[in-house]
Amino acid sequence: MSIESGAAPQKTSSKSSSFLDQREGSRSLHFVKYHGLGNDFILVDNRDSSEPKITPEQAVKLCDRNFGIGADGVIFALPGVNGTDYTMRIFNSDGSEPEMCGNGVRCFARFIAELENLHGKRQSFTVHTGAGLIVPEIQEDGLVKVDMGQPVLKAANVPTKLASNKNDAVVKSELVVDGVTWNVTCVSMGNPHCVTFGTKGGEDLQVDALNLAQIGPKFEHHDAFPARTNTEFVQVYSPSHLKMRAWERGSGATLACGTGACATVVAAVLEGRATRKCTVDLPGGPLDIEWREEDNQVYMTGPAEVVLGAFVFEVDQQERFITKKSIVPAACGIEDMIPLLVLLKVYGQLI
Ligand SMILES: N[C@@H](CCC[C@H](N)C(=O)O)C(=O)O
């Protein structure tokens, strides 16, 4: 199944019984784990097939932080379509498939640069996603700047059932969640976001004080959002400096959300709270976001790193995982570490 530009991709059906690569008589999955400000992903080299190598159900198991590898999602690097260099697809840790992932696409760019040995060569790619064309570029300083496309504000396309109140958009509208009235602005960056700076008539948000696990799911599953929603809770430090915590659709509270940071700046501009160029502080670190007036495009700049502590696993006779060896290259400094190819070698019982 391939995804069409602008359309929310559907869940992939379970086609093969195991995600394990059975070539050469062994059963293995090659992947690398990356993170963007602590928003972590298992990246799968899927360039030889337009079908993800693992199913959503298998992704749920791999993302489990106690019984699996642990991640906020699984990202697949697939062949490009319609003239693009690559296609990116992602499964959230609950197995649902979002249209886009901001931190994920920065990790994707670093992953592709390693796979294709592009050091010192062209490091900008066209990537087909469920949100349309996305263009990440690895800068000389190692940060990844991404052209995230244009925000979608039309209520029906976010999608939200809330009535539009500013042109076609929903800006600082009332949303009752669990008996409390919040002011929300709805923005799609390909995926849906509900951004709030606080409750009606309430104090400015102190985002550290929020119990995200308690309030987040109530926004995510609110009737106003037919495709569920990501929610960003935002505190304004200054017109160019915001602080945000996200409850993500399908992944819960994460340390960072790239599309959420973009939606936050768009909402802050629409509500007259911020300038078009902001730093957004997330629990995992800052992202620089610009919503350009000239072309209406949103640009996001931030890091993407390989997760340290990668291992080769095998399963012993009692079906227990044993660490075969660490493959952290001894000669490298942590900052210079090349991405690691992690070989997970297990029996089919895991998945
Ligand atoms: N963490 C991501 C967003 C991932 C998708 C999201 N959970 C959804 O379902 O829309 C980001 O950095 O943008």
Which secondary-structure segment (H or E) carries 197? Answer: strand 192-199
Domain with 319 in it = 23-147+308-350
- 189 CA to middle of ligand 1, Å? 10
- Which residues, judged by CB distance below 6 Å to any ligand atom, belong to the binding site of ligand 1? 39, 92, 98, 101-104, 191, 230, 248-251, 254, 257-260
Distance 53 CA to ligand 1 centre (A): 20
Mean pLDDT value across residues 66-78: 93
Residue 293 placed within a domain: yes
Ligand 1 atom with the shortest distance to the CA of 254 = 1
Q: How many domains does the chain have?
A: 2
Task: Give the CB-side neighbour count of residue 18, counting CA atoms within 13 A.
Answer: 14
Of 62, 64, 283, residue with least CA distance to 76: 62
Mean pLDDT, to the nearest integer, of 290-299? 98
> CB within 8 A of 52, min separation 6: which ones?
12, 44, 46, 76, 78, 89, 91
Instruction: Decide if 191 is inside a domain.
Output: yes
What is the average pLDDT across 62-80? Answer: 93
Does residue 342 belong to any structural domain of this protein? yes
Asked whether residue 14 is domain-assigned, the answer is: no
Is 257 one of the catalytic residues?
yes
- Say yes or no: 66 and 84 in one domain: yes
Q: Which atom of ligand 1 is nearest to the CA of 228?
A: 9
Cα–Cα distance measured from residue 351 to residue 349, given in angstroms and rounded to the nearest whole number: 5
- Over residues 29-39, the mean pLDDT reads 86
Q: Given ligand 1 and candidates 35, 92, 148, 287, which is best to mutate, with the most ligand atoms within 8 Å of its CB?
A: 92
Find the mean pLDDT for residues 41-56.
92
Do 258 and 330 share a domain, yes or no?
no
- 109 and 168 part of one domain: no
Q: What percentage of the chain has pLDDT greater than the value 70?
A: 78
| Residue 172 shares a structural domain with residue 266 | yes
* pLDDT confidence tier of residue 69, bands split at 50, 70 and 90: confident
Whether residue 256 is found in the same domain as residue 339:
no
Same domain, 109 and 223: no
Task: State residue 67's pLDDT score.
Answer: 86
| Whether pLDDT at 87 is above 80 | yes
Domain CATH number, residue 185 = 3.10.310.10
- Select from 144, 259, 287 the residue to mutate for testing ligand 1; criterion: most ligand atoms less than 8 Å from CB: 259
CB 144 within 8 A of CB 106: yes
Please tell me the distance from the alpha carbon of residue 37 to that of residue 227, in angstroms, as a whole number. Answer: 26
Please check whether residue 235 lies inside any domain of the structure. Answer: yes
Among residues 107, 194, 257, 262, the one annotated as catalytic is 257
Q: Which residue has the higher pLDDT, 243 or 120?
A: 243
**Whether residue 330 has pLDDT greater than 80:** no
Q: What is the pTM of this model?
A: 0.85
Residue 88, pLDDT > 60, answer yes
Residues 66 and 179 in one domain: no
Are 297 and 313 in a shared domain? no
pLDDT digits (tens, 9 = 90+) for 129-156: 999 999 999 998 999 999 999 999 999 9
* Cβ–Cβ under 8 Å, residues 104 and 42: no
Verify whether residue 101 is a known catalytic residue: yes
15 in a structural domain: no
